[in-house]
Amino acid sequence: MPNLIYVQPETDVKWQETSGDLVITLNNLAAGAGRQGAVKDFGAATAKSRWYEWRFFCQFATAPVVGEIVEIYLKFGGDDTPHYDNDDGTGDIAVSAGDKRKNLRLIGVLVVDEAATGVIMSASGVVEITHRYVMPVIWNATADNLVATNNLNGFSLTPVPDEVQ
């Protein structure tokens, strides 16, 4: 009889302005602009999950148009020589140009499903991460700024390693 494989979620890593584990300043992220979060170092030669659940959430300052999107990317760096997927650095910084997304991994989009303010919208998915260094990159492809309030916008990764029973 084969073994059952379960998923055992571990502690998540959160990126937010002031209440996360790492910083990403999405407060008032402008329409047609992007922001990169601080780098997460999963450590060299350490056991870590290969699979992660991701979640992005945001609130808009003005009513967005249904169907507009916010793009969610991950930026990686290698183990020995952390050559990153673009040259925008490793801190909580603005994406320097739209073209800087070309070598990032698009992991999903948040599709606006309600033309309203005061509503926190979220999107989620699962991503495989085998790199040591990772940073979320959020690109606001809507025509509306994100709300200018700390911690109403953010991103998280939750390790979900397989567990053999």
**Secondary structure letter of residue 98 according to DSSP:** G
CB-count burial class (<10 Å; 0-12, 13-18, 19+) for 83: exposed
CATH classification at residue 66: 2.60.120
- Counting the structural domains of the chain, the total is 1
Instruction: Tell which wins on pLDDT, 126 or 164.
Output: 126
Tell me the residue range of the domain where 41 lies.
5-164
Q: Is 153 left (phi over 0), alpha (psi -120 to 50) or beta?
A: beta
Note the helical H segments in 49-125. Answer: none
Tokens describing residue 121: 């919208």
Query: CA 127 to CA 54: how far, in whole Å?
Result: 7
pTM, 2 dp: 0.94
Per-residue pLDDT for 35 more than 80?
Answer: yes
pLDDT tens figures, 59-105:
999 999 999 999 999 999 976 667 899 999 889 999 999 999 999 99
Q: Is pLDDT of 129 > 90?
A: yes
Contact, 150 vs 17, CB < 8 A?
A: yes
